[in-house]
Amino acid sequence: MKFAIQVNEGPYQHQAADSAFQFAKAAIENGHEIMRVFFYHDGVNNASNFTLPPQDDRHVVNNWASLNIKNAEGEPELVVCVAAALRRGMLDESEATKNAIEGYNLHPAFRISGLGQLIEAGIQSDRLVVFGD
């Protein structure tokens, strides 16, 4: 089955991101496809390359990256909503340059795009599964 996933909460504060990751991992291991994971609301914080949990804790951001979810063109299909990301200080290199801000924090396994990608995922997948509070 072709799944799309929406993650509405940030890492560590809520379990939603962990549950979504576990679901995605299990789906892939069982031969299903995760065509896109869309991060919205505080979920955009799952993409922070500056995340440094203690060594005895799970690394939520690296967990996502380990799934290696990409499309046929090789682009990441871990997609962060641009409006939600910018208002929470989550930037990629292009947004940082555009807004004259030094430094950026989007993990390279993710990409920033618009809300249309969420709707498209709902249309193209067999199931869209929402993880939130």
Partner 1 sequence: MATKKFMYLNRRSSFGTVYAIESLEVVLIAAAFEQDVSLAFMDDGVYQIVEGQNTDGIGMKNFSKTFHALGDYDINKLYVSKESLEERGLSESDLMPLVYEDEDDDWAEKSSIKVVTNDELKAIMSEQDVCLSF
Q: Is 66 a catalytic residue?
A: no
Should residue 28 be labelled a site residue for partner 1 when binding is judged by CB under 8 A? Answer: no
Whose CA is closest to 131, among 43, 62, 30? 43
Should residue 39 be labelled a site residue for partner 1 when binding is judged by CB under 8 A? Answer: no
Mask 96-115, x = binds partner 1 (CB under 8 A)?
------------------xx
- Which of 3, 5, 6, 82 forms a contact with partner 1 (CB under 8 A)? 6
Should residue 86 be labelled a site residue for partner 1 when binding is judged by CB under 8 A? Answer: no
Q: What stretches of the chain adopt beta strand conformation (E)?
A: 2-7, 33-39, 78-81, 111-113, 127-131
Should residue 120 be labelled a site residue for partner 1 when binding is judged by CB under 8 A? Answer: yes
CA distance 51 to 96: 18
CA distance to 41, 105, 130, per residue, from 92 (Å): 17, 6, 25
Displacement of CA 87 from its chain's centroid (Å):
16
Site of interaction with partner 1 (CB under 8 A): 6, 8, 40-42, 83-84, 114-116, 118-120, 122-123, 128, 130, 132
Catalytic site residues?
81
